Chain A
Amino acid sequence: MEKNIDKTSYDALVIGAGIAGGEAALNLANTGYKVLLVDKELSVGGKMIMLSKVFPTLDCSACITTPKVSEISRHSNITIFTGAQASNIRKIGEKEFTARINKQPRYVHIEDCTSCQLCEEACPVSVSDQYQYGLIGRKAAFIPFSICSPKAAAIDIENCTLCGACERACPTNCIDFTMEPEIIDIKVKTVVLATGFKLFDPLDIPRYGYGKFKNVITAMQMEREIAPTRPFNTILRPKDGKVPDKIAYVLCVGSRDASVGNPICSQICCMYSIKQAQLLMGALPMADVTIYYINIRSFGKGFEEFYQQAKGMGVNFVKGKIGRITEKENGNLILRYEDINSGKLQEEEHDMVILSTGVLPNEGISELFEGDTLGLDKFNFIGQSDALAGPSRTSIDGVFVAGTASGPMDIPDSILSAGSASSEAISYLIQHS
């Protein structure tokens, strides 16, 4: 196996190491191209590695993501930078791009870390854990999550008090506070953008009480509660640790809603909510689960059958948009809604509410480019210059888009889109060699 000796020159730069970026990188690497894969997070795997199970197969998400992650991590043609961001991407002539990689220091030498977690134990600082979506805390010296890759500690320098406890506790002396940000200027021949999406922040809809009422959580937080790497080892509501028995899902939170600036449908929320409802019915056999919806969009392969299965299991589907959520003293929540079937305004009490938040574009992607302009569509996703006959082509020849960076999509569609982007990138490399 030949190692990439020149660290500044690659065939392809893939930005984003979620499932789309990972798939695109693997396709390129498997056909013999040298790939630099960068991700701003501390681990590869994107959002998929954080999920519980996937619809409609109910495969364990971690179990099907980790082999991909492992394959990506070990591929001799793939170099990975985590905690790194690309910028200043500029097309030079017809065959080359230059780019700058800004690599943030992890303050841990990855190759020496055995992920023994002694630094975590020693660290006196506790902050909210972003990888558990704020459900629990973590230390400032921490392993991002149990199946992260690379599996190594990191120091959250923003919150670190520089007390040195972790350094003293570390048996391999892998913690190093002298690490500096690195700037690496690279040359590549093609660029694949797999920058993914961000979830709608429900604080922007105050009438749902998120952030104020503790038992109103997001679906991503519920994903964490039911994932194999879950924080509590059971399902509970945050306010008092009670196991919920009457759970509500509110669909289209931040989607199909022009009032929050996002008129489009997020394409995945109906299905992930139905999946969670099924998993909750399995985990909490006595619990009632109600899904409040506008339209159920179970359009993909096996989805309609999955929806019917949820109905058969006893998940309660109510057609109606939630107007407002209020909290009772005991932490229960009153949902006020227009019940379309009866045509009346109704109120219903639940002890936990899950907001199925929508998919939004990540910001600042076009600012990564210099010279040529990377076009966006009217929803600020990366624009597709030939949406029907070449969906992964962008406004810049040689720059391709994979996965949800171009719009909402589920996992198989992301894989197809990544296949499409890597196909175009391989063709581009062959045609421009």
Chain B
Amino acid sequence: MKKKKIGVYICHCGGNISDYVDVEKVRAAIADEGIVLLSKTTMFACSDSNQRDMVEDIKANDLDGVVVASCSPKLHLQTFQNVSMRADLNKYTYVHANIREQASWAHSDDKMGATEKAIHLVRAAIAKSRYAEALESTKVKAIKKVAVIGAGIAGLKAALSLSEKDCDVILIERNSVVGGHVAEFTSLSTTTETGYQIITRLYSEVLKRGNISLLTNSEVIENKGSVGNFSLKIRKITNNDNQEIIDVNVGSVLMATGFDSYTPGEGEYGYKSLENVITLVDFKKMIDSQNGKLVYNGKQIRDIVYIYCVGSRQSDGGNTYCSRNCCTSTIHASIIARHKFSDINNYHFNRGIRTYGKQEILYAESLGSGDIYLQFNEDSIPEISVNGDKAIVKINDILSANREVEVEADLVVLVGGMVPRADNSVGSLFKLPKGRDRFYNEVHMKLRPVETAIDGITIAGACQGPKNITESVNSALAAATKSYSILSKGELETSPLIAVIEEDKCSWCGACQEACPFDAIHMEEKEGRTIAQINNTVCKGCGMCAPVCKPDAINLIAYSSSEIMSMIDALA
């Protein structure tokens, strides 16, 4: 066999690595390793110019593989696999070493040690490179149909957008009607349309589309398969409480399951225990349904106190996050109340108003029309007591040097935010990861906000985090684009990096099936023996099965025992 020749590139990462790791020393230490023909340092390995140089190096020196020592493979494994491909190498000949997260950043207090560790990590990568083989991916058919779960504003828009791209859609809604929260909104701050009118406009459009099938009263109860071909079971409750099970195969799933409104705990700011304390959701319904005088419990309302951040921005125990939309929503409602009813005085007890962007105009309008803003800190929240039919709300107002201020209110409105859906059964079905805030987590917060760790599943709207209508719609359309682009070519490449069973060693104990998080392993009878079988399109190559296999019958392609052992030797 011809001796392998590889190139090794050590990245400065513009100081992220080279401030702590002596990259030149790393290069010198590995330059004479057996198969290393060429070794270089580079300011940014990922930069366009370096990529170009790498392609030239590979071609000019007829290299068999490349190692780049830089940041996490999560960022750039694919980048350099693509470089290899452009130089006519098989992408699986590429090996990545992470000397940023694992060396420079982890040991910024110990430059010598960080450099030493980086040398070992690069040696291990070179050892792996020795065994790295060309692998071919296989292609599977992708079903050009998307399941959109949830028919609120995000789900409706996503369905319409996919439909316009000649992609079939099955739109699944748990309730009997579409529209979610937005259908309940009457006046909105940015348009003359009501929430209900917007939903009606979108819904009538959905009905016209031959390629959208809408299932109301329906829930997904089972999910099998993976990107390109998910097999879903949907339970639909029909007219007389009968249920119908519908089987459907789709290529991608777009989650638009929305949010729950925060419900204050019993006694939180007098909720449920004091009669003139209500939530913003109820307040909005109240002002929409009344005219002339604003009346609650038979009494005319004049002085309204709004308490902000109820259930949001709680440093301990509760929700730590800001709910983004409540400041604007409250100010808008208070402006409506002032315009619609006579003698209204609005008192906003807030923790710093967050009418970001153009919404600032509403805040300015509210201030200009005489609304009173008082501000408190989390450690000194307003107190509510009762005096006859009034609520007395007491605050130490930051805006007037912590002076104690009391307001006699006819009505106290608790401004609660958005919380993740309490019922997460559909998320669990798809094994969707959640963030610290318990909303669904995107794969990259900055650059990939609608994709998830599960291939083929995208997230849209407020199920990913609090959003207003515009933001929900943008995210719905972005998710539709991502779901569509997965399927638009009609076929998908599957990774060859999967587990394989050595059938003669396997005697089926079931341990691997239990360990598999993707349901990719099942029992099979073959030539009179019971053995484990792996579904290649479902297996993600995560490796959970390999170590639990007692007879060592499972191998992970590209992570064979010989490769791993040689890496461990190099690290020692």
Whether B361 lies near A264 (C-beta < 8 A) is: yes
Given contacts A151-B49, A264-B361, A341-B401, contact A388 B474 (CB under 8 A): no
Whether B474 lies near A419 (C-beta < 8 A) is: yes
Contact residues, B415-437 vs A (CB, 8 A): 435-437
Nearest CB in chain A: distance from B74 CB, A: 11
Nearest CB in chain A: distance from B142 CB, A: 13
Among the listed stretches B8-16, B237-245, B558-566, which one makes contact with chain A, having 4 or more residues with CB under 8 Å of it? B8-16
Roughly how many angstroms separate A390 CA and B47 CA in the complex, as a whole number? 36
Whether A412 lies near B191 (C-beta < 8 A) is: no
Residues of A contacting B437 in the complex (Cβ-Cβ under 8 angstroms): 301-302
A63 at the interface (CB under 8 A from B): yes
B76 at the interface (CB under 8 A from A): yes
Residues of A contacting B439 in the complex (Cβ-Cβ under 8 angstroms): 301
A32 at the interface (CB under 8 A from B): yes
Whether B357 lies near A115 (C-beta < 8 A) is: no
Whether A416 lies near B356 (C-beta < 8 A) is: no
How many of chain A's residues have a CB under 8 angstroms from any CB in B? 84
Roughly how many angstroms separate A342 CA and B399 CA in the complex, as a whole number? 9
B479 at the interface (CB under 8 A from A): yes
Contact residues, A281-305 vs B (CB, 8 A): 295-305
Among the listed stretches A8-16, A157-165, A201-209, A420-428, which one makes contact with chain B, having 4 or more residues with CB under 8 Å of it? A420-428
A254 at the interface (CB under 8 A from B): no
Q: Which of A230, A265, A267, A426 contacts B481 (CB 8 A)?
A: A426
As a 0/1 sequence over residues 444 to 459 of chain B, the CB contacts with chain A under 8 angstroms (1 = contact) are 1111111000000000
Among the listed stretches B121-129, B464-472, B546-554, which one makes contact with chain A, having 4 or more residues with CB under 8 Å of it? B464-472
Chain A residue nearest to B48 in the complex (CB): A149
Whether B321 lies near A415 (C-beta < 8 A) is: no
B526 at the interface (CB under 8 A from A): no
Whether B477 lies near A424 (C-beta < 8 A) is: yes
Nearest CB in chain B: distance from A55 CB, A: 9
Nearest CB in chain B: distance from A114 CB, A: 9
Nearest CB in chain A: distance from B196 CB, A: 13
Whether A340 lies near B190 (C-beta < 8 A) is: no
Roughly how many angstroms separate A62 CA and B48 CA in the complex, as a whole number? 12
A59 at the interface (CB under 8 A from B): yes
Among the listed stretches B160-168, B217-225, B288-296, which one makes contact with chain A, having 4 or more residues with CB under 8 Å of it? B160-168
Residues of B contacting A74 in the complex (Cβ-Cβ under 8 angstroms): 86
Nearest CB in chain B: distance from A285 CB, A: 12
Nearest CB in chain A: distance from B48 CB, A: 4
Whether B15 lies near A423 (C-beta < 8 A) is: no
Nearest CB in chain B: distance from A414 CB, A: 10
As a 0/1 sequence over residues 369 to 404 of chain A, the CB contacts with chain B under 8 angstroms (1 = contact) are 000000001010000100111111000000000000
Q: Which of B15, B47, B202, B478 contacts A418 (CB 8 A)?
A: B478
Residues of B contacting A265 in the complex (Cβ-Cβ under 8 angstroms): 355-357, 359-360
Residues of A contacting B476 in the complex (Cβ-Cβ under 8 angstroms): 420
A407 at the interface (CB under 8 A from B): yes
Residues of B contacting A23 in the complex (Cβ-Cβ under 8 angstroms): 447
The number of residue pairs between A and B whose CB atoms lie closer than 8 Å in the complex comes to 225
Whether B352 lies near A419 (C-beta < 8 A) is: no
Whether A412 lies near B445 (C-beta < 8 A) is: yes
Chain A residue nearest to B320 in the complex (CB): A305
Whether A308 lies near B14 (C-beta < 8 A) is: no
Roughly how many angstroms separate A118 CA and B506 CA in the complex, as a whole number? 64
Roughly how many angstroms separate A304 CA and B315 CA in the complex, as a whole number? 10
Whether A341 lies near B402 (C-beta < 8 A) is: yes
Given contacts A298-B322, A416-B450, contact A267 B357 (CB under 8 A): yes
A100 at the interface (CB under 8 A from B): no
Chain B residue nearest to A294 in the complex (CB): B352
Residues of A contacting B236 in the complex (Cβ-Cβ under 8 angstroms): none
Nearest CB in chain B: distance from A398 CB, A: 14
Roughly how many angstroms separate A94 CA and B444 CA in the complex, as a whole number? 38
B193 at the interface (CB under 8 A from A): yes
B157 at the interface (CB under 8 A from A): yes
Residues of A contacting B488 in the complex (Cβ-Cβ under 8 angstroms): 31-32
Given contacts A73-B48, A151-B47, A151-B49, contact A340 B398 (CB under 8 A): yes
Whether A54 lies near B446 (C-beta < 8 A) is: yes
Residues of B contacting A302 in the complex (Cβ-Cβ under 8 angstroms): 321, 435-437, 445
Given contacts A389-B473, A415-B478, contact A343 B46 (CB under 8 A): no
Nearest CB in chain B: distance from A79 CB, A: 16
A57 at the interface (CB under 8 A from B): yes
Q: Which of B46, B364, B398 contacts A63 (CB 8 A)?
A: B46
A345 at the interface (CB under 8 A from B): no
Roughly how many angstroms separate A75 CA and B51 CA in the complex, as a whole number? 14
Whether B400 lies near A263 (C-beta < 8 A) is: no
Given contacts A63-B46, A388-B473, A430-B164, contact A423 B75 (CB under 8 A): no
Interface centre among A56, A74, A297 (most CB of B within 10 A): A297
Residues of B contacting A149 in the complex (Cβ-Cβ under 8 angstroms): 47-48
Nearest CB in chain B: distance from A372 CB, A: 22
Nearest CB in chain B: distance from A81 CB, A: 16
Roughly how many angstroms separate A412 CA and B191 CA in the complex, as a whole number? 25
| 22 A-B residue pairings within 8 Å (CB atoms) | A74-B86, A146-B44, A149-B48, A151-B49, A228-B14, A228-B16, A295-B353, A341-B401, A341-B402, A388-B473, A389-B157, A391-B474, A408-B357, A408-B358, A411-B446, A412-B445, A419-B474, A419-B477, A420-B475, A420-B476, A423-B161, A427-B165
The 7 closest A-B pairs by CB, nearest first: A419-B478, A228-B14, A343-B401, A427-B164, A151-B49, A420-B477, A423-B477
Known: A267-B357, A420-B477. 5 other contacts (CB 8 A): A27-B481, A70-B46, A390-B473, A392-B477, A419-B474
